[in-house]
Every structure is written in C-alpha cells, then in structure tokens.
Amino acid sequence: MRSCVLVAVAVAALLGACSGTDESAPSGSGGASAGGSAGSQGGSGPPASGCPVAAPLQGDPCDDDELWCSYGDTLDPSCRQVFGCDAGAFELVSWLGTCSAEEACPASQPVTESSCNPDDVGSCYYPGSTLCRCEECEPYTGGPCVPLAQPEWHCSAPSGACPDLVPNWGTSCTDEGASCQYIECWFQTRCEGGVWVWEHLTC
C-alpha cells in the first residue's frame, strides 16, 4: 500500500491523502465497455454540475470559474475534451497530456511483463479501464528510475466498484467520497458534492 498526494486541479488546493492500489489483472484498440457501478454515470453521462449538455465552444460564456467539464467516451481519458471556466469563458485545455495513438497499440491486451518497444508505443487502453504501459523502469516506485533489463508491458485497472468507463468530469454520482485510480500515481476520479471530479495524483 502506498500513500499518494492528490491534487484537484479544479480547486487547486491540497485535498488529502489516498491509498494506492497494487498492480492488478482507461481510447485504445478495444471496444468501450458500458459504464459501471459506484452510483455513477460513465463516459458521456448527463452533467450534474452546471456543465453544458454538449461540449461548449472555445470562448463560450460561463459563470463559475471553478467549473470543469469533460466530454467524450473514449477509454483513454486524455483523448476527451476538457473545458475549464476561466474569467467567464470556457477554455479547452490539455489536462491529461497527449492522446495516445491507437494505431500503435496491440489489438488485444498484452501480457504483463512481455517485451515491448517504447519507441513504437507508450500507453494503450482496453475494456474494463485497463491501462497497459510500455515501461523502461520498474513501475510505480515513486522514486528514481530503476531500469528494467528490457522494456516490458505492465497493465493495471482500478480496484473496487469503479465504472469500467472513466466517468466524465461534472457528471452525476451518488457514492459520496468514492474514488477510482485509473492511472496509478497519475490520475483518479472522485465523487464530490454529487459529481465526478478528475484529479491528478503524485506518489
């Protein structure tokens, strides 16, 4: 069990500590699974936080500078549109970095610890919100890189009653305080005030 410090970009304040999950057996090359449990709406579920039903246009007016909304239903959350309300206008932001290239991913989920080439592929997503990454270092150490003998695949999925499909930022949830780590030491969603909130993690 490892401790993680989570940072909610929506409020830019320290929220507390969370428990990490050990590695186990989020648009990639597999088909998207239906939204799961934890009282949630997965993917493109209806907004419940003041977010527009459809994705706004850059510069559209908004009246809550703490409002964040995401749109889409890709397995890879970095491939979705994320908007933040800034100075009364919606801004499209690259919140999780670059969308992974689907065409480079294996058609089916690779076997953990099988070899891979990081020059060809980095992260791939599969049904069940399984993330597979081509690692050159021992994964999830939280410290300096411990090089592997050769790059290899490592796959993980959120534990507990988490939606298979990452719920969109601003969509409704009922299990207050529930959290789901979709990318260990990097990204989770948390049910806060009746809506799903996206959060960065650092270990």
Residue 21 has pLDDT above 60, yes or no: no
Q: Confirm if 76 and 125 have CB atoms less than 8 A apart.
A: yes
Instruction: Write out the two tokens for 81.
Output: 């549109």
Among candidates 198, 194, 199, 200, which has minimal Cα distance to 47?
194
Considering only 81-85, 97-101, 189-193, which range has the smallest mean pLDDT?
A: 97-101
Please write the tens of the pLDDT for every residue from 39-86.
333 454 556 678 999 999 999 999 999 999 999 988 888 889 999 999
pTM: 0.66
* 111 C-beta neighbours (distance < 10 Å), count: 13
**What pLDDT, on a 0 to 100 scale, did the predictor assign at position 141?**
57
How many secondary structure helices (H) and strands (E) does the chain include? Answer: 0, 11
Cα 179 to its chain centre, rounded Å, is 11
The amino acid present at 2, given as its one-letter code, is: R
The whole-angstrom separation of Cα 80 and Cα 77 is 5
Query: Comparing 97-101, 115-119, 164-168, which segment has the lowest mean pLDDT?
Result: 97-101
For 94-148, give the DSSP string.
-SS-SPP-GGGS-SSPPPTT-B--TTT-SEEEETTTEEEEEEEE-TT-SSS--EE
Question: Which amino acid is present at 31?
Answer: G
